[in-house]
Homo-oligomer: A and B are copies of this chain.
Amino acid sequence: MSAKRTALVISAHAADFVWRCGGAIALHQEQGVDVTVVCLSFGERGESAKLWKQPGMTLERVKAARRAEAEKAAAALGVHDLITFDMGDYPLEFTRAWKDRLVDVMRAVQPDFMLSHSSFDPYNTDHMLTTQVVLECRSTAQAWGHNPGQKVLGAPQLYLFEPHQTEQMGWKPDTFLDITPVWEKKWAAIQCMEGQEHLWHFYRNVAENRANHFTRNSGGQSGGRACKYAEGFQSIFPRTVDSL
């Protein structure tokens, strides 16, 4: 904790880190926390309908387009390091090698906290599989006998960021983060996602309504703090504190 703080985002598809925690990324970067983003895939098969509707489209062209968008968005947010696994999507298929690579990233980054998908998602099984694998890799990264000599991972919190239909995914936020100071960055990053323009307004609404929840939970009509944009997160592990 004495050293530089770091964080690690594991995003199943290229755009997830933008919609779901772009504010958290930009905010922590401004606070001096280095945020590494792993994109397991570009969402090239499952989240690029607009591109595929164009005649003569190919997988490589889709991937190139989505990669460019992701890089542009990452730049807008100030991401410290964007790592693209390019492991294919719909479905993600985790071999031992992909898992080991994720363990290596966890150990190299030594994050103070991590962010990934909801634990359940009947619409998008890539999402829930990602979180399951993140937990498995967290266990492995904590194992002293895995690649002895590497620095072993501590016990970083895993925050689950907001899915598309929260209630269907059984996702319940316990933490609201005020992202008002960095909203312009998140909005710029969102607009990099040219293939999914139908979601821009949706996630703007989400940010505004989570801000309403922020105000309500910080005091409401009696001292609640003004907030214009917020993001919500669900914690997997208990916090350890010195004061309530």
Contacts and interface: CB of A to CB of B under 8 A. Distances in A.
A235 B235 CA distance: 12
A214 B77 CA distance: 31
Interface in A161-199: 164-168, 171-178, 198-199
24 contacts: A24-B244, A28-B244, A45-B144, A45-B146, A46-B139, A46-B146, A52-B144, A52-B145, A52-B148, A122-B236, A122-B237, A123-B139, A123-B237, A126-B139, A154-B220, A155-B218, A155-B219, A155-B220, A166-B166, A167-B167, A174-B235, A174-B239, A175-B240, A175-B241
Interface stretch (A68-76, A78-86, A221-229): A221-229
Contacts of A155: 216-220, 222-224
Contact of A145 (B62, B96, B123): B62
A218 B240 contact: yes
Interface in A1-21: 1, 7
B176 A239 contact: yes
Given A1-B223, A122-B237, 4 more contacts: A46-B143, A142-B222, A168-B238, A217-B238
A140 B90 CA distance: 5
B219 A165 contact: no
Tell me how many chains of this kind the complex includes.
6
A91 B242 CA distance: 34
Count class of interface residues, chain A: 35 or more
Which 9 pairs from chain A and chain B are nearest by CB? A45-B145, A52-B144, A46-B143, A205-B205, A90-B143, A49-B221, A154-B219, A218-B240, A125-B136
Contacts of A28: 243-244
B140 A221 contact: no
Contact of A135 (B52, B122, B153, B213): B122
A48 B218 contact: no
A22 interface: no
B145 A238 contact: no
